[in-house]
């Protein structure tokens, strides 16, 4: 009898312990704080986007096609962003053509060929530092080297080269990280059947690292697409100009880009220009969202489960 009541009380005790978790107020507070920070972040984004959309609304509704295909103009009702679109796209293409091959190549050399020496560690560290250098410093560099020393002047090519240099360290770092993530066992397997270093890299290491490399490089192109400050240093025009041509015809010409034109229009006192600026922001955001979505789709497609 006594044993039975003891057993019962033990069961009660266990039941009470198992069920009595309701007074853990600390975790409630923490959870609430975390939720609040999420709401603040989303809220700010929501306010920004809706503010931009509302300001851009008249332009986007009244003359969407005209806005996309017109040149910059001092008269708000005629102004458009075709030159900015061409400028931004061309600059991004220049960046892609230069920064991706050089950056991926540099990363392959650093991770696959270079011996682990003091020099290679020094270079690695400094590439990381370069990625943290403020964009305006790259603008000064572009002005000094491309515009002045090389004598290119304030042209589209100088802008493209400057941004290529700006995103180069980012491409190197993301590619390096993708390469480091390839298991050593894959490399050993290839070397074990008599593959050369390059055969190993080409057939196994690069395909394995491809999703990471794709994602990193595409995101860095998004960064180049949205960059403003350095382009102001190397002559992105923030005024009115009439030249419109195919991208290759523009390389040696004055240019503007979406972010620079936004910056430009935001400085005008008239509400009409601020509406134009907002509409340009919508286009810019749309393109960047598209670029990021492409990165995600590509990553998912190539990211097979090994």
Partner 1 sequence: MGAMSTTDEAEQIAPAAAGGPPMTFDGDQVVFELDDLSCYYGDFRAVREISLQVPKNKITALIGPSGCGKSTLLRSFNRMNDLVDTAHITGSVRYHGVDLYADGVDPVEVRRRIGMVFQKPNPFPKSIYDNVAFGPRIAGYRGNMDELVEQSLRRAAIWDEVKDKLKSPGTALSGGQQQRLCIARAIAVEPDVILMDEPCSALDPIATLKIEELMRELRENYTIVIVTHNMQQAARASNFTAFLTMGEDRAGYLVEMAATEELFTRPANRITEDYITGRFG
Among 194, 239, 242, 246, binds partner 1 (CB under 8 A): 194
Asked if 304 interacts with partner 1 (CB under 8 A), we say: yes
Asked if 23 interacts with partner 1 (CB under 8 A), we say: no
Rounded to whole angstroms, the Cα distance separating 142 from 158 reads 7
* Binding segment toward partner 1, per CB under 8 A, in 86-94, 194-202, 219-227, 241-249: 194-202
Helices then strands, each counted (H, E), the chain: 14, 0
262-268, Cβ contacts within 8 angstroms, sequence gap of 24 or more? 262/228, 263/228, 263/232, 263/238, 264/238, 264/239
Among 208, 214, 225, 255, binds partner 1 (CB under 8 A): 208
Rounded to whole angstroms, the Cα distance separating 291 from 216 reads 12
* Binding segment toward partner 1, per CB under 8 A, in 94-102, 126-134, 190-198, 288-296: 190-198
DSSP letter (8 states) at residue 110: I
Asked if 115 interacts with partner 1 (CB under 8 A), we say: yes
Nearer to partner 1, 189 or 290 (CB): 189
DSSP letter (8 states) at residue 75: S
- Count of residues that interact with partner 1, criterion CB under 8 A: 23
Among 187, 218, 227, 263, binds partner 1 (CB under 8 A): 187
Among 32, 43, 183, 267, binds partner 1 (CB under 8 A): 183
Asked if 188 interacts with partner 1 (CB under 8 A), we say: yes
Could you tell me the smallest distance in angstroms from the CB atom of residue 293 to partner 1? Answer: 26
Q: Of the candidates 235, 220, 233, 229, which has an alpha carbon nearest to the alpha carbon of residue 262? A: 229
Go through the chain and tell me how many residues it has: 306
- CA dihedral 59→61→63→68, nearest 10 degrees, is 70
DSSP letter (8 states) at residue 236: B
* Binding segment toward partner 1, per CB under 8 A, in 19-27, 170-178, 192-200, 226-234: 192-200
Nearer to partner 1, 27 or 117 (CB): 117
DSSP letter (8 states) at residue 23: T
Could you tell me the smallest distance in angstroms from the CB atom of residue 213 to partner 1? Answer: 16
Residues that bind partner 1 (CB under 8 A): 115-116, 183, 185-196, 199, 203-204, 207-208, 304-306
């Amino acid at each position: 009898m006594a044993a039975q009541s003891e057993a019962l009380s033990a069961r009660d005790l266990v039941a009470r312990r198992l069920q009595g978790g309701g007074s853990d107020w600390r975790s409630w507070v923490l959870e609430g704080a975390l939720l609040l920070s999420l709401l603040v972040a989303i809220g700010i984004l929501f306010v920004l986007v809706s503010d931009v959309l509302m300001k851009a609304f008249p332009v986007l509704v009244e003359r969407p096609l005209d806005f996309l295909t017109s040149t910059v103009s001092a008269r708000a009702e005629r102004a458009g962003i075709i030159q900015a679109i061409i400028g931004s796209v061309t600059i991004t293409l220049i960046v892609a053509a230069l920064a991706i091959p050089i950056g991926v190549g540099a990363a392959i050399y650093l991770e696959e060929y270079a011996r682990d020496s003091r020099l290679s560690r020094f270079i690695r560290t400094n590439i990381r530092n370069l990625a943290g250098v403020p964009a305006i410093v790259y603008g000064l560099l572009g002005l000094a080297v491309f515009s002045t020393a090389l004598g290119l002047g304030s042209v589209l090519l100088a802008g493209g080269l400057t941004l290529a240099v700006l995103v180069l360290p980012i491409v190197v770092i993301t590619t390096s990280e993708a390469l480091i993530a390839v298991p050593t066992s894959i490399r050993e397997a290839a070397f074990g059947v008599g593959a050369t270093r390059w055969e190993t890299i080409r057939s196994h290491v690069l395909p394995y690292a491809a999703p990471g490399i794709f994602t990193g490089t595409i995101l860095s192109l998004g960064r180049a697409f949205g960059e403003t400050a350095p382009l102001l240093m190397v002559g992105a025009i923030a005024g009115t100009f009439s030249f419109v041509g195919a991208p290759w015809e523009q390389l040696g010409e004055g240019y503007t880009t979406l972010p620079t034109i936004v910056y430009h229009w935001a400085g005008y006192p008239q509400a009409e220009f601020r509406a134009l600026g907002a509409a340009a922001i919508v286009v810019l955001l749309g393109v960047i969202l598209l670029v990021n979505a492409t990165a995600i789709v590509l990553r998912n497609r190539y990211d097979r489960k090994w």
